[in-house]
Amino acid sequence: MASDPNQGQPDNPNSGYGTPANPHGAPENPYDAPQNPYPYSTPPPENPYPTPSYGGPYYQEAPGYVPPPSAPRPLGEAIRELPEQYVRVVTKPSPLTFVGEMGKASWDIVWVQLIGLTVINVILGYLGTLISPNAYMPTTSTTSISAATMQSIRSITLGITLGEIILIPAFFFLGMAILYGLAKAFGGQGRFVTQSYTYLLFDTPLGIISSIVSLIPFAGAFIAFVILIYRVVLAIFSIMAVHRLSGGRATAVVLIPVGVVLLLLCGLLVVFIAIVAAALQQR
């Protein structure tokens, strides 16, 4: 038998009868291998606009930040923690401060603070009627009419003071409802109980201080006005934290009711002046 002239020779890739150049590998298929759609750069993340972390861009986590607890405290423990919370909220005005207190909100501690604020305001109001300079007016024959008039005024003032037992909680929840509705209109995400709780954390101590300094003649009114401005600032921070709103939107939520009240007062003042002027012209 004739021998094969190509025996012992390497396979010729150009030969139609030779073995493939890669006998042990799969045939090359340009469609099997995954293609890289970004050959000159790394691929972008799956979500180029990730959802912001808790609190949004308005109060990012800072050193010393403590996340809010997952559940409210028992009532006894919550009451014991109130003085420390008051100091922290009043002396460290920031949305972050309120974020750290939000998780402790519950209706029982809200009512405890509200009842305590009401009782203290009623007591201070009653003391204000007693220490009024006119309370020590002598009751001689020449001043009996004036003394009787002042006694009537004191009785009316005392009645209004006692009426605060109902008026303070009623106006508080009315104000909270207005703020809550405005916050929701601006895209707020918080709960009503959380808003009420964080609001009382500064309104209770500052309200008591304001009632005390109001007993000081002249200077007390100025100090109380300064405290009122500070309460508005803290209310804005509270709304920012609870409802995750920007500073501008939270400011609008707080100042819109204030502006409406001022307009109503101005309108009532104009009406009162007009009535007085008309009465004077008829004489």
Neighbours of 251 (CB within 10 A): 17
DSSP state letters, 136-154: G----TTSHHHHHHHHHHH
Greatest mean pLDDT among 131-140, 170-179, 210-219 lies in 170-179
pLDDT in the model for residue 279: 78
What does the chain come to in residues? 283
pLDDT in the model for residue 142: 43
SS3 content of the chain, % helix, strand, coil (to 5): 65, 0, 35
Collect all residues with Cβ–Cβ distance below 8 Å to 110 and sequence separation of at least 6: 193, 196, 197, 200
The arithmetic mean of pLDDT across residues 78-106, rounded, is 92
State the Cα–Cα distance between residues 240 and 252, nearest whole angstrom: 11
Q: What is the pLDDT of residues 158-211, one digit of tens each?
A: 666 667 778 888 999 999 999 999 999 999 989 999 999 999 999 999 999 988
* pLDDT of 148 above 80: no
Helix orientation angle between 75-91 and 95-102, rounded to the nearest 10 degrees: 170
Sign (positive or negative) of CA dihedral 37, 38, 43, 46? negative
pLDDT in the model for residue 47: 47
Phi, then psi, of 106 in degrees rounded to 5? -160, 160
Q: Are 106 and 197 in contact (CB under 8 A)?
A: yes
Detail the DSSP E strand segments found in 75-197: none
pLDDT in the model for residue 192: 95
Of 94, 73, 61, the C-alpha closest to 197 is 73
* pLDDT of 93 above 70: yes
Take residue 142 and report the two structure tokens written for it. 């020449």
The arithmetic mean of pLDDT across residues 3-21, rounded, is 52
Quickly tell me which residue has 């090359």 as its tokens. 28
Neighbours of 79 (CB within 10 A): 15
Greatest mean pLDDT among 70-79, 216-225, 227-236 lies in 227-236
Q: What is the pLDDT of residues 59-68, one digit of tens each?
A: 444 444 445 5
Return mean pLDDT, the chain: 76
Q: Are 231 and 202 in contact (CB under 8 A)?
A: yes
Confidence of residue 39 (pLDDT cuts 50, 70, 90): low
* Identity of residue 31: Y
State the Cα–Cα distance between residues 245 and 236, nearest whole angstrom: 10
DSSP state letters, 230-255: HHHHHHHHHHHHHHT--HHHHHHHHH
pLDDT in the model for residue 5: 53
Name the least confident of 55-69, 87-101, 182-196, 217-231: 55-69
pTM of the shown model: 0.67
